[in-house]
C-alpha cells in the first residue's frame, strides 16, 4: 500500500505525475487487491442473509443434507408452511405495534429533552444530563428483574406497553446525546433571531429545530426501531398470551419444538429481518449522516 492511494484526490493527482507502465501495473494490482478484499468482507456481511434465503427455499430434507444456500431447486412450500406454523400477519402486527409505538414516543420525548440540554438554561441541567448519560452504563440485565416486577405492579403485563415503556426509557441516553449534539451544532443566531421575531420557545423548537434535525431524528428512529423490533426478552417475560407475541418470540417458539425445522426457522428469520433491511436501505443516507454528524459534533 502506498500513501498515494490513501486518499482519493492524491491517487488521481499522482496518476498524472508518474505514468510508467510498471507504476501503472502496480497501481492496478493494488486496486484489484483492495476491491477483492472489500468484496470478500461484503460477502461475509451478507452471508447469513443468503443462508436465510437459501434455507427458506429448501425442503427440510434438503436443508439438512445440503447446508449451502442456493444449491437445491427452490421450493416455495417452506414459506407456505411457515405461514401455517406461525401466525405471521399477527406476529408482524404485534411487532409493528411495539416498534412503531416506541419510536413515536421516543420522537415525542427525547428531541424536546435534547433541545433543552443543548439550547436552554435551566436549574439542575448538568446533573440531569449526567444522570441520563450515566444510565447508558447501567446494564439492561441489571434492571431487567425490577422492570418485570414493575410491569406486573402497574398491571401492564400482556399489553404492548409493558415492552414499549421500558424500551423508550432504555433509549433515553443515546437519543438524548444524539439530539443534543445535533441541536448544539445549530448556530446560536438561529435561536436569537427566532426570539427576536417573538416566537415562543416551543414554537422555536417545533417550527425550526425539529424539522432541521431530520437526519438525527432518522438515526434515532432506526436505532430504536431495530432495538424494539428485535426485543425478545421483555415480551417473552411480560406476556404469556401467544396472540400478543411479537416476531422474535414467535421465531423462538419454532426452535423450541422437538425436531427443529431449520428451513422454517430460516424463513421466519427472513420475515423478521426483511422489514429492517428495507427500512435501513431506504433511510440509510440520513441514518449514516446522522451518526457521523453526532460523532463529529
Partner 1 sequence: MTDAPVDAPARLSAAGRRGRSRRRRRGRWVGLLFVAPAAVLFAIFGVYTVVYGFLLSFARWNGFSPDWTWTGLSNYADLLGANPAVSPVIAKAAGNTLVGMVVLPIVVIVIGLALALLLNSITRLRAVLRTVYFIPFVTTGIAVYYAWRFMYQPDGVVNAVLDALGLHSLAPSDGFLGTTSTALGAVIAVQVWSNVPIAMLLFLTGLQTIPESVVEAAHVDGASGFRTVWSIIVPLLNPVTALVVVIMLRESLQNFQLYLLMTNGGPVNASNTLGLQTYAFAFGRTTDLGYASALGWLLAVAAIVLAVINLRILRSRQ
268-297: which residues touch partner 1 (CB under 8 A)?
268-270, 272-273, 276-277, 280-281, 284, 288, 291-292, 295-296
C-alpha 231: how far from its chain's center? Answer: 12
User: Pattern 78-117, binding to partner 1, x per CB under 8 A?
Assistant: ------------------------------xxx-xx-xxx
Reference 98, options 147, 161, 173, 150; nearest CA is 161
Query: Which of positions 233-252 make contact with partner 1 (CB under 8 A)?
Result: 233, 237, 248, 251-252
Nearer to partner 1 among residue 40 and residue 80 (C-beta): 40
CA–CA distance, 127 with 135 (Å, rounded to integer):
12
Helices (H), 120-238: 125-134, 140-153, 161-184, 188-196, 201-203, 210-212, 214-230, 233-238
Minimum Å gap between C-beta 22 and partner 1 is 17
Minimum Å gap between C-beta 241 and partner 1 is 18
Q: What is the DSSP letter of 198?
A: T
C-alpha cell at 41: 468482507
Query: Which of positions 165-184 make contact with partner 1 (CB under 8 A)?
Result: 165-166, 168-169, 172, 176
Please work out the total of residues on this chain that contact partner 1, with binding judged by CB under 8 A. Answer: 109
Is residue 132 classed as helix, strand or coil in its secondary structure? Answer: helix
End-to-end CA distance of the chain: give it in Å, rounded: 31
Residues 6+ apart with CB under 8 A from 214: 286
Reference 253, options 82, 34, 22, 120; nearest CA is 82
Nearer to partner 1 among residue 97 and residue 266 (C-beta): 266
Nearer to partner 1 among residue 97 and residue 237 (C-beta): 237
CA–CA distance, 75 with 66 (Å, rounded to integer):
14
Scanning 18-26, 72-80, 211-219, 258-266 for contacts with partner 1 by CB under 8 A, the matching segment is: 258-266
Minimum Å gap between C-beta 28 and partner 1 is 13
Query: Which of positions 22-81 make contact with partner 1 (CB under 8 A)?
Result: 31, 34-35, 37-39, 41-42, 44-46, 48-49, 51-52, 55, 64-65, 67-69
Q: Which backbone phi and psi does 97 adopt, to 5 degrees?
A: -60, -45
Minimum Å gap between C-beta 84 and partner 1 is 19
Which of residues 9, 20, 256, 258 is near partner 1 by CB under 8 A?
Answer: 9
CA–CA distance, 246 with 76 (Å, rounded to integer):
24
Minimum Å gap between C-beta 242 and partner 1 is 17
Nearer to partner 1 among residue 90 and residue 113 (C-beta): 113
Nearer to partner 1 among residue 21 and residue 123 (C-beta): 123
Indicate the burial class of 236 (C-beta count within 10 angstroms; 0-12, 13-18, 19 or more): middle
Which of residues 21, 139, 187, 211 is near partner 1 by CB under 8 A?
Answer: 139
| Distances in whole angstroms, Cα of residue 143 to Cα of each of 161, 192, 199 | 17, 42, 41
Which of residues 182, 191, 217, 244 is near partner 1 by CB under 8 A?
Answer: 191
Minimum Å gap between C-beta 77 and partner 1 is 19
CA–CA distance, 274 with 189 (Å, rounded to integer):
43
Q: Which backbone phi and psi does 19 adopt, to 5 degrees?
A: -130, 35
Scanning 76-84, 92-100, 212-220, 226-234 for contacts with partner 1 by CB under 8 A, the matching segment is: 226-234
Amino acid at each position: 500500500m502506498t500513501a498515494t492511494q490513501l486518499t482519493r484526490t492524491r491517487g488521481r493527482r499522482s496518476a498524472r505525475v508518474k505514468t510508467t507502465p510498471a507504476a501503472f501495473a502496480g497501481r492496478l494490482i493494488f486496486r484489484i487487491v483492495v476491491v477483492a478484499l472489500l468484496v470478500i468482507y461484503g460477502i461475509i456481511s451478507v452471508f447469513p442473509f443468503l443462508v436465510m434465503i437459501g434455507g427458506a427455499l429448501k425442503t427440510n430434507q434438503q436443508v439438512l443434507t445440503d447446508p449451502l444456500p442456493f444449491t437445491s431447486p427452490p421450493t416455495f412450500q417452506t414459506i407456505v408452511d411457515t405461514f401455517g406454523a406461525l401466525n405471521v400477519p399477527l406476529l408482524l402486527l404485534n411487532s409493528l405495534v411495539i416498534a412503531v409505538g416506541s419510536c413515536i414516543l421516543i420522537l415525542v420525548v427525547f428531541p424536546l429533552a435534547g433541545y433543552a440540554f443543548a439550547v436552554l438554561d435551566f436549574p439542575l441541567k448538568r446533573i440531569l444530563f449526567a444522570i441520563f448519560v450515566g444510565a447508558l452504563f447501567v446494564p439492561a440485565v441489571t434492571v431487567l428483574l425490577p422492570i418485570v416486577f414493575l410491569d406486573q405492579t402497574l398491571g401492564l403485563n400482556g399489553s404492548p406497553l409493558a415492552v414499549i415503556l421500558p424500551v423508550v426509557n432504555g433509549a433515553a441516553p443515546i437519543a438524548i446525546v444524539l439530539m443534543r449534539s445535533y441541536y448544539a451544532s445549530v448556530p446560536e443566531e438561529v435561536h436569537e433571531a427566532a426570539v427576536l421575531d417573538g416566537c415562543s420557545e416551543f414554537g422555536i423548537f417545533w417550527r425550526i429545530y425539529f424539522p432541521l434535525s431530520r437526519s438525527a431524528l432518522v438515526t434515532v428512529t432506526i436505532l430504536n426501531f431495530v432495538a424494539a423490533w428485535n426485543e425478545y426478552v421483555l415480551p417473552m417475560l411480560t406476556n404469556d398470551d401467544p396472540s400478543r407475541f411479537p416476531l422474535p418470540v414467535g421465531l423462538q417458539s419454532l426452535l423450541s419444538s422437538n425436531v427443529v425445522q431449520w428451513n422454517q426457522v430460516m424463513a421466519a428469520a427472513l420475515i423478521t429481518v426483511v422489514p429492517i433491511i428495507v427500512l435501513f436501505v431506504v433511510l440509510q443516507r440520513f441514518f449514516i449522516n446522522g451518526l457521523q454528524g453526532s460523532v463529529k459534533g
